[in-house]
Amino acid sequence: MSQLTIGADIAFRHLDRNERDQFLALTNWKRYARMVRVNGDLRRQVFYRSLRENNKYDSPKEEFNSFVSEFYQNNNFKCNNLAAYEFFVDITGERAFESQVCDNHFSTFISVATGYKEISFYKNRVLKISYLMASNGESAMSRFGHSMFYVRACKKNIDNCPLKYQTEFILGVAADVDDLAPGLLKGIFGGYDTKLNLMTLTQVKQKYNYDEFRDLDQYDLNLTKRDIHRFISHSLRLYEQKDMGSYKFFSANCATESYKLLRATIDKNKLRSRPLTPKGLLKDLVDDSIADEEATRRFVEKSKVVGGHLKYLGYESFDEYYSTAVEIRFNRALILSKDNMLSTKVAYVFLEKMALNKAQQELTNFALNSDNDDLQEDFEKLAMRYKDWLRSNSKRIRMGLSPVKSNVTTQMNQFYQQHFHHEIIMISNMAININKARKDFR
């Protein structure tokens, strides 16, 4: 397949600019305009490149023609690709196989701290979609914020779904980073695949509010039921196919891909400026009256909570807390717990879990950046096996299959025990102390 193909199909060219842009967003093609020399004259010509790795079409016109055939001849096209079906309804004014009944139930498993959690709902019973934006972070990869979508849906195929049957989750586009230590340059130059994540709201609040001290702002989207159904169906199709191209920090990031999800599925006359940042996307949503200017809900970062816990236990900063010996931290909390057991337990367990996460991250960095070349090489081999195992399980979970076990985690623990015994003892003691506090501080 050639990387660049001149788009010249008659039927495809009959689309107006907005219809063409929506189709390109729907099928993940990128358009280039270049000056080329033809018979000695410079002329502007349009080229297209597919951003998908497994695209079987050489050009968008070829894919368009294939979709036309599917629309009129395949009675499963509506159920297999609802967003594309509705696109052709818009441009043809016809509804082929309209009576076809689709199975709208969706279910998958996502990884959470306690194992795996099922997310199950009906795509035709999505009650709300909101734009969820994380504020700027300190790292280079998060300095522009982060774009996500909050989704509330019904777990039953019923009208007027009561609260007890509702479920909520976060849908977000991100780099498929399964490295133990992510690299900024890989993110800039397309070294990671783009993936669609499903997460719980609790996970997102933990990551941004507590771990990174970043605010989350939720803006409800003013979408029709048809728009919502198209959006969620298209997003989940990409989630299952996992072929969204390469993630690039400046040109194919969370904001650009979130924009494409919306551009592919809502009014073709809206969202045409192609924003590059989360704040830019929010501005366009507001300007097109898709979102209100004021946030519907805010989840505020929890640095004040952390500061309060530190002050209660007698520390000026988290760095001071972390640099204090593990047993000294526990013994100080134990003494304080005699006066106020509940407050002490809450403060100590919260901070100790933060310290445990930091210690585990440092352990990985020690192994990856060891001065011993042989040790570093051995760990990188283990890390590669670990990455392959994670990827394999990720695919299985998306397919509704149970994850498989591997001895690679045992081997990594043995590696840590052999080469970083002191750090492992410290991490083990921290975990033991957390359990002690939960049991004894009451």
- Looking at the chain, the number of H-run helices and the number of E-run strands are 17, 12
Whose structure tokens read 């507001």?
A: 286
Residues 172 and 308 in one domain: no
Residues 244 and 122 in one domain: yes
Strand residues in 75-191 grouped as ranges (E): 105-112, 115-122, 126-134, 146-154, 166-175
Residues 223 and 133 in one domain: yes
pTM score: 0.77
99 within a domain of the structure (yes/no): no
Tell which of 299, 321, 350 closes a domain: 299
Q: Which helix (H) or strand (E) holds 246?
A: strand 246-247
Domain extent at residue 322? 303-440
Residues 289 and 320 in one domain: no
Mean pLDDT by runs of 10 across the 442 residues of the chain is: 41 88 92 81 84 88 93 94 95 90 92 82 97 78 82 96 96 75 52 84 91 92 96 94 73 88 90 87 94 93 89 93 96 92 92 91 85 87 84 74 84 90 93 92 73
97 within a domain of the structure (yes/no): no
For residue 189, the model assigns a pLDDT of: 46
The Cα–Cα gap between 14 and 18 comes to 11
160-187 per-residue burial string, b: 16 or more CB within 10 A, e: under 16: ebeeeebbebbbbbbbbbbbbeeeeebb
Residues 179 and 263 in one domain: yes
Tell which of 284, 299, 314 closes a domain: 299
The Cα–Cα gap between 188 and 211 comes to 24
Residues 219 and 257 in one domain: yes
Token reading at 9: 């199909």
For residue 191, the model assigns a pLDDT of: 60
9 within a domain of the structure (yes/no): yes
Residues 250 and 139 in one domain: yes
The Cα–Cα gap between 109 and 198 comes to 9
* Residues pairing with 34 in the sheet: 45
The Cα–Cα gap between 315 and 322 comes to 10
Alpha carbons within 13 A on the beta-carbon side of 91: 24
Residues 328 and 404 in one domain: yes
336 within a domain of the structure (yes/no): yes
The Cα–Cα gap between 40 and 71 comes to 43
What separation in angstroms does the CA of 374 have from each of 78, 145, 377, 378, 409?
56, 39, 5, 6, 20
For residue 267, the model assigns a pLDDT of: 86
174 within a domain of the structure (yes/no): yes
Residues 432 and 351 in one domain: yes
Alpha carbons within 13 A on the beta-carbon side of 236: 25
Count of domains forming the chain: 3
Crossing angle (nearest 10°) for helices 60-73 and 82-92: 90
Residues 384 and 265 in one domain: no
Whose structure tokens read 């586009």?
A: 173
146 within a domain of the structure (yes/no): yes
138 within a domain of the structure (yes/no): yes
Return the closest-CA partner of residue 360 out of 348, 372, 352.
352
Whose structure tokens read 């990409």?
A: 238
C-beta atoms surrounding 331 within 10 Å? 12
Q: What is the DSSP letter of 173?
A: E
Tell which of 299, 321, 336 closes a domain: 299
Residues 352 and 421 in one domain: yes
For residue 398, the model assigns a pLDDT of: 67
Residues 158 and 271 in one domain: yes
For residue 140, the model assigns a pLDDT of: 47
The Cα–Cα gap between 106 and 99 comes to 21
220 within a domain of the structure (yes/no): yes
The Cα–Cα gap between 442 and 436 comes to 11
